[in-house]
Amino acid sequence: MAVAERAVAQAGAATQPLLEVKDLRKYFPAGRGAWVKAIDGVSFEIRRGEVFGLVGESGCGKTTVGRTIVRLYRPTSGSVIYDGIDVHRAPAAQRRALHRRMQMIFQDPYASLNPRMTVGDIIGEALDIHGLAPSRKARAERVQELLQTVGLNKDHVNRFPHEFSGGQRQRIGIARALAVDPEFIVADEPISALDVSVQAQVVNLMRKLQEERGLTYLFIAHDLAMVKYLSDRIGVMYLGRMMEMATSEELHRHPLHPYTQALLSAIPIPDPDVEHSRERIVLQGDVPSPVNPPSGCPFRTRCPIAQQRCAEETPAFREAAPGHFVACHFA
């Protein structure tokens, strides 16, 4: 679909979510009848043209959410609805079309590219699978165009991944995701393995592409400051569950959940006076095991305001203010 046509379609469906995740659960077997509850009842939606940031500590389940959305994992229960189609229950013909509309940028640019394939073959593979290049000449021109789109030289087409830096490899991964002209991209911590000096370049590239092509992103990261810069709305996960969700501005101005407040307090402020005077919230203890999570609220073992009710009753994910959702009894 051309960019202009996509913009018209998005304007007509602005109120309809492009993606709906409903009560999603994904458990992995851990042996002896135990299960790792990587995702434990997560629900959210992403609107067309929106950047939805998903944040949380390592191991909270955010990457599993992204991989389940694009069908790299099958859910234990719950559903993923993309533009009215159940991703995991759709017939084969619809699944093939969905694979073209949904793409993923992986976290590790060193492990996500096949070292035995040239850059031209890595990017062109998707064109071959979906039959998008009518000739070898058209394929070569499309690959060169994609390389230039992400800021690389078209002469790089015959080089191998080991000849590039981490930032350049991630640009190749972005070009591969763009090859089939997708509508929705899951970006799984695309900058966490890069040097700080390169991170801003990649994020600015993603933002530019989103504006030019009308893309919708699920941006997964643990850096709240970077997520704020890129995202329209943010969801905060802890131990497989959604703790809080609001617009980027609202979440940073009025965080309701103690976990979100602790995450935000860790972001440095570029003002020595303000940074020195503000209070840093330091969480006590370690993240519990997802094999045996705490009863009630999963955050209660580290929460500074936890009470007996938190151990006995799982807090509902409720709308505390218009568009601001939180899972806390005392928020």
Compute the average pLDDT of residues 163-190: 94
Total domains in the chain come to 2
Measured CA to CA, the distance from residue 318 to residue 289 in angstroms comes to 25
CB neighbourhood size of 250 (10 A): 17
| pLDDT tier for residue 6 given thresholds of 50, 70 and 90 | very low
75, 220: one domain: yes
Question: Are residue 170 and residue 27 in the same domain, yes or no?
Answer: yes
Are 133 and 282 found together in one domain?
Answer: no
Pick from 17-31, 130-144, 237-251, 271-285: least confident: 271-285
- Assess whether 19 and 98 both reside in one domain: yes
Q: Are residues 267 and 321 in the same domain?
A: yes
161 token code pair: 């991944």
Q: Domain check: are 194 and 279 in the same one?
A: no
End position of a domain, from candidates 214, 231, 248: 231
Expressed as residue numbers, the domain containing 114 is 3-231
Residue 5 has pLDDT above 70, yes or no: no
**59-63, 180-184, 276-280: which range is least confident on average?**
276-280
pTM of the predicted protein model:
0.90
Same domain, 201 and 266: no
Give the whole-number percent of the chain exceeding pLDDT 90.
75
Task: Write out the two tokens for 3.
Answer: 């960019």
- For the chain, give the mean pLDDT: 90
Give the confidence band of 8 by pLDDT, cuts at 50, 70, 90.
very low
Per-residue pLDDT, 170: 93
Same domain, 103 and 149: yes
Bridge partners, residue 318, by sequence: 326
CATH number for the domain harbouring residue 166: 3.40.50.300
